[in-house]
Amino acid sequence: MRTFLLRSILFFGILFLLAWSADIWITRQFKKLDSSPFGNWNDIYSSSIQSDILILGSSRAYVQFNPRILDSVLHVNSYNLGMNGRAVESQVIKYHTYRRKHNTKPKLILFEIYQGTLDTSNGFDRLQFVPYLKDPMLWNDIRKVDEFSWADCFIPCWRYSHYKKDVADIIKGKSVYCDPKYTLYKGFCDFDKPWDGSKLAKIDTLHYSRIPSAINELKQFLKECQEDSIQVVFVIAPYYIGATRKIDDIDGMYNLFYSITEPYQVPIMDYTNNPLSCDTAYFYNNSHLNRKGATLFSLKLAHDLDSLHLIPGEGNCTVPKYVRKYDL
């Protein structure tokens, strides 16, 4: 019996060490990637982001707000923390991790919003968090909004067992995450795809989200930024007009955002009716601009930020008078 126990302990000890070693090796492979979504997570954890302007939001942020153009026009240092997924909770978690890791406090945050911002269902790409679950603070935050189990954090390789194909493809170098065309520039992913209207054709009505927990999370974020003397500007990026017309009660959506922003004097830059929104030549689907569209939008955004004096400390020592919404 004693021999059996010793052999069992030895067997499971060796198994644990193998799993622990494999977990470390797989994590290192993820942390070598400079593609979306891992590239900017790796930048966050290296504490290397030194930006005046920070961009937050969904995939509509990370494929449409080009830091190269913003930097060139405005003579600033910007970085795009946009991410796959619409849940505001996950976007705020990413920002909190950014600050905890001693990256530069931004002067201005451009927060991309749209009708799905205040939703929580199917809210984000879970895999992007997996290599970093050993971070106790991130683990504590993400557990509040997702059902990661204790085993994902404490049993070696368990966290990767849900993503066997992704892990295998990355190891083989065949994953989309290894594709050079998805390499990020300061968090921005330059997508150049042709228009595909198949998804839009299947949509009858788009409902804007108003989940109370998401609303409270966004209000708390704005309060934190106000207390930290960080200017926040909400941006509604171009959305193909054929989809915008399908949003149910769009006035109600605007009124909801006003009720959130006004106590914190956060203006909204609204590009819903911008000419870009009327032409599929600038989109690859109903909600995402292609390379040409993102370039033109980023140029327009940069010049508008400059002309409206919305960049703190840039040739403008006074805080501009609060304007609820700019229709651009």
Task: Give the start-end residues of each E strand in the chain.
Answer: 53-56, 78-80, 108-112, 206-207, 231-236, 247-248, 268-270, 283-285, 288-289, 325-327
- Mean pLDDT across 188-210: 79
Banded model confidence at residue 51, pLDDT cuts 50, 70, 90? very high
State the CB neighbour count (10 A cutoff) for residue 296: 17
Please report the DSSP string for 19-73 in residue order: HHHHHHHHHHHHHT--BTTHHHHHHHHTT----SEEEE-SHHHHTT--HHHHHHH
Residue 77 scores a pLDDT above 90: yes
- Mean pLDDT across 179-187: 76
Residue 276 scores a pLDDT above 80: yes
- Mean pLDDT across 12-35: 82
Please tell me the least confidently modeled range out of 1-5, 78-82, 169-173. Answer: 1-5
Q: What class does CATH assign to 35-150+179-327?
A: alpha beta
Residue 318 scores a pLDDT above 50: no
* Domain boundaries along the sequence of the chain: 35-150+179-327
Taking the complete model, does pTM exceed 0.85, yes or no?
A: yes
- Mean pLDDT across 186-211: 80
Please tell me which residue, 216 or 19, carries the higher pLDDT value: 216
> 216-252, pLDDT tens digit by residue?
999 999 999 999 999 999 999 998 888 888 888 888 8
Average pLDDT score, the chain: 84
Residue 320 scores a pLDDT above 60: no
CA distances from 16 to 8, 11, 133, 167 (A): 12, 9, 18, 19
Q: What is the pLDDT of residue 203?
A: 74
Alpha-carbon gap, residue 288 to 240, rounded angstroms: 8
